[in-house]
Chains A and B, each alone.
Chain A
Amino acid sequence: MNENKQLKVSAIKNGTVIDHIPPRNLFKVISILGLDKVENQITFGTNLESKKLGKKAIIKISDVYFLDDEINKIALVAPQAKLNIIRDYQVIEKKVVEVPDKIVGIVKCFNPKCITNHENIVTKFIVASKKDVSLKCCYCEKITYQDQIVIV
């Protein structure tokens, strides 16, 4: 079983593995973490079999380690994501993501009449619910629910 997994997405020597990403949100995770601008080696796989999610995506980033604040941002789109910190092919630490209290500059307010959708403003949200992620806009005070989340 382990051999099969390694064949699908190759192992990394050092870096971070982000596992249990919902496949439909893989590119949102890439966007949130700014991986499209990183020059390190990145491999990803999607629509992989998962006992927990049915299908999952996985990202392996060589020689990159994230701060908790950075990685928690992906909780908006991948609340069940797990991180493995790899050194010399060994998992030395496992982490789960946590929805932060405040979301700044990542999510677009779903309200078309919100000022943030009409001027060049960094969006700010207070997390109203961490369970079924809902975000209250600090400007228009409207709630953006999880299925409405669009990454800026």
Chain B
Amino acid sequence: MKNKSLVSINDFTKEDYLKILDLAEGFEKNPSQQVLTGKVVATLFFEPSTRTRLSFESAVNHLGGRIIGFSDSNSSSVTKGETLKDTIRIVSNYCDLIVMRHPYEGSARYASEIATVPVINAGDGANQHPSQTLLDLYSIRKTQGKLNDLNIFLIGDLKYGRTVHSLIMAMSYFNPTYHFVSPDELKLPDEYKIFLNNMGIKYYEHKEFTDIISEADIIYMTRVQKERFTDPIEYEKTKNAYELRNFMLSNTRPKMRILHPLPRVNEINIDVDENPKAYYFTQALNGMYIRQAIITSILGLK
């Protein structure tokens, strides 16, 4: 994986995933390994994403590396009209690795073609967010003790939710059974169903989930994201489609865990937070170990 950019979850093989997960386990046991001393990582956030940025920067800091970059495009030359191409070409001169978040889809692939250093995609519009998917896999394996043969419930915005799309692709190596729960307006796009049909993976579509979640090993809640909608009326109609409440969890499996890419708004009530099955905050912590694993792997340090 050395010097290979991570743009799409499809860039890595099953073996690559498992290597990253194993490395992350090592970082969880010992997060402060100074293997990045003398290296500079650029974090270029053309749109704000505090959580993802801090997770990457925390990972770099724990590894002893240095960080340059910006946290939104207003504080970069983009406001002067500089193209992404020029920004990437310039920043490549100053660092060993670029972590990039950008509002346009495909921007990370384009950046990886121009950059002379590897690029990690920290989210390109509604397209890909592969480090999120790897931390989701890590969280699933850690809580279930395995990745194979699990019942995965994906709930909420399945149309625009890139974390959902990437997780579907990544988990497909491990014989899951999917339950997709969404309103009609936010159903999973056909291309993913075609993919699952071709792979022979079972899936079911539902509009409600309360009477079926006793079967779940993982409940993956997602936020209906206002910024992904072109039609504000469609957003208003669907934003509060589902709300997970603590009382709904009484008949669920003991090992079942609730995941969410965060931030949440209304889709998980705060009364769920103290339930031992609520895993989303630990899931976010796992993100730091995963990002340490990705960075060191790409730079050939582990």
Contacts and interface: CB of A to CB of B under 8 A. Distances in A.
A115 to B, nearest CB: 4
A140 interface: yes
B7 to A, nearest CB: 10
A11 B169 CA distance: 55
Interface string B120-160: 00001111100000000000000000000000000000000
Size band of the interface chain B makes with A: 10 to 19
A115 B84 contact: yes
A115 B8 contact: no
A140 B84 contact: no
Contacts of A138: 106, 109
Interface string A105-120: 0000101011110111
Contacts of A120: 83
B199 to A, nearest CB: 16
A118 B127 CA distance: 16
A120 B84 CA distance: 10
B110 interface: yes
A149 interface: no
Contacts of A118: 104
B191 interface: yes
Which of B104, B126, B191 has the largest count of A CB atoms less than 10 A from its CB?
Answer: B104
B109 A119 contact: no
Contacts, number: 50
B281 to A, nearest CB: 31
Given A113-B125, A119-B110, A139 B105 contact: yes
A116 B124 CA distance: 13
A102 interface: no
B107 interface: yes
Interface string A130-141: 000000011111
A7 interface: no
B207 interface: no
A33 interface: no
B107 A141 contact: no
A127 to B, nearest CB: 15
A121 B109 CA distance: 12
Contacts of A121: 110
Contacts of B84: 115, 119
A8 interface: no
Interface of A: 109, 111, 113-116, 118-121, 137-143
9 contacts: A109-B106, A113-B105, A115-B84, A115-B104, A115-B106, A116-B110, A139-B106, A140-B104, A141-B128
Interface of B: 8, 83-85, 102-107, 109-110, 124-128, 191
